[in-house]
Amino acid sequence: MKLKNYFYGFATTLVIALATNYLWSTTTVNANAPRFQNSVIDNSIAQVPNNPKFGLPIECKLDQDCFILLYSDRDPSPKAVDFGCGRQTYDGHKGTDFAIPDEKIMAKGVAVEAVAAGKVLRVRDGIPDRRVKSQADKDKTKNIECGNGMVIDHGNGWETQYCHLRNGSIVVKPGTFVNAGTQLGMVGTSGLSSFPHVHLSFRYQGEIVDPFVGPNAKSGCNIPRNSIWQQPLSYKPTGVIRSGFADSAPTMDDLWSGKFYDTTLPGNSPALIFWVQIYGVLAGDQEHYQLFAPNGEGVIDNKKEIKSANKTWMGYVGKRNNSQSLLKGKWKGEYSLTRNGKVLVNITKEIQLN
Ligand SMILES: [Zn+2]
């Protein structure tokens, strides 16, 4: 029986953590900017002021419905560092990745919006939404790394580029004038993208700008910051992507595709699994998983230390339902991630076993 093999080696409880460190999102900008259609730049576009501020490129509540998964790489060497001196970037990443939890939400639709007034210069659409999971997948995105997207000219030397939009979702054309907040399309995962998100790049006079530090900044991370965001955005390198329950062990791929939203499970489910998906874990982080039965009894209490840094992380605990041994009623999972004594992530989740 497949499930037995699955859980082979575990008695009645299981604790597993898996990680992926390899996230892909377009790195190059000029070379792979959408260029299916072109229009001539004219001078009639709205000019942003000399010290412009920009809005967010996505319609969602940051750190609640969406999150920043990757920042710009500020290290010119083959190493990588984000502006907060952390690891939520990779070598050559030239933008900010605003992510949503999974493809189920992507299918419902989360709008990508212009970050300031301007004129659309170039647009590309028609690239399928396919999460890159292997080198072969990656090879298929050659020269279309940005996927579906657009470039907007804001005047005074400022441009923005948006990548990985959902196939067929783009509602602007070259020459379209937009305002801050004008919908451009929907968040997707087209091109070189391994999770649903919009990659936003800023350019000032042709040079890439990290929006958290502003133009003409020195490389590295211990530098003065002159953010170009309209709203104060805090550096949040660690947080929750999603959590939930499942009747079998989830994979990272299951989670990105939007499985396991159940709030009830049948009493004859083969197992009860409490899972969490987190971004930005570091070596030495302490995880604490707990599972409580409907009668309040703590049936799992598992503490462990994360061994290496990972940009995304998944872990779970669970109990097999031997001869339907699991009590029916409301089960509760609790999870915390602690770093240097500070709790960074705290999750409580319930499920009804009927
Ligand atoms: Zn990116």
pLDDT at position 152, please? Answer: 98
Q: pLDDT tens across 225-239, in order?
A: 999 999 999 999 999
Q: 54: closest CA among 147, 121, 117, 3?
A: 117
Confidence of residue 64 (pLDDT cuts 50, 70, 90): very high
pLDDT exceeds cutoff 60 at 1: no
How close is the Cα of 41 to the center of ligand 1, in Å?
26
Q: Mean pLDDT of all residues in the chain?
A: 89
Q: How many CB atoms neighbour CB 67 within 10 A?
A: 20
Provide, rounded to the nearest whole percent, the portion of the chain with pLDDT above 70.
86
Q: 210: closest CA among 326, 321, 97, 63?
A: 97
How close is the Cα of 36 to the center of ligand 1, in Å?
20
Residue 239 C-beta-side C-alpha neighbours within 13 Å? 18
Instruction: Tell me the two tokens of residue 302.
Output: 């598992």
Confidence of residue 51 (pLDDT cuts 50, 70, 90): confident
Q: Is 148 left (phi over 0), alpha (psi -120 to 50) or beta?
A: beta
**What's the average model confidence in pLDDT over 24-34?**
47
Rounded Cα distance, 330 and 251, in Å: 24
Provide, rounded to the nearest whole percent, the portion of the chain with pLDDT above 90.
84
Q: Is 36 left (phi over 0), alpha (psi -120 to 50) or beta?
A: alpha
Do 276 and 335 meet the contact criterion of CB atoms below 8 Å apart? yes
How close is the Cα of 313 to the center of ligand 1, in Å?
18
More confident residue, 44 or 244: 244
Confidence of residue 25 (pLDDT cuts 50, 70, 90): low
More confident residue, 46 or 235: 235
Length of the chain: 354
Q: pLDDT tens across 333-346, in order?
A: 999 999 999 999 99
How close is the Cα of 26 to the center of ligand 1, in Å?
5
Confidence of residue 172 (pLDDT cuts 50, 70, 90): very high
Rounded Cα distance, 337 and 319, in Å: 21
**What's the average model confidence in pLDDT over 3-27?**
47
Contacts of 189 (CB under 8 A, 6+ apart): 103, 106, 129, 130, 131, 147, 164, 166, 195, 196, 197
How close is the Cα of 333 to the center of ligand 1, in Å?
33
What is this structure's pTM? 0.89
Confidence of residue 48 (pLDDT cuts 50, 70, 90): low
Q: pLDDT tens across 142-166, in order?
A: 999 999 999 999 999 999 999 999 9
Do 284 and 305 meet the contact criterion of CB atoms below 8 Å apart? yes
Domains in the chain, CATH or no CATH each: 2-20+238-353 (2.60.40.3880), 31-234 (2.70.70.10)
How close is the Cα of 97 to the center of ligand 1, in Å?
5
**What's the average model confidence in pLDDT over 78-102?**
97
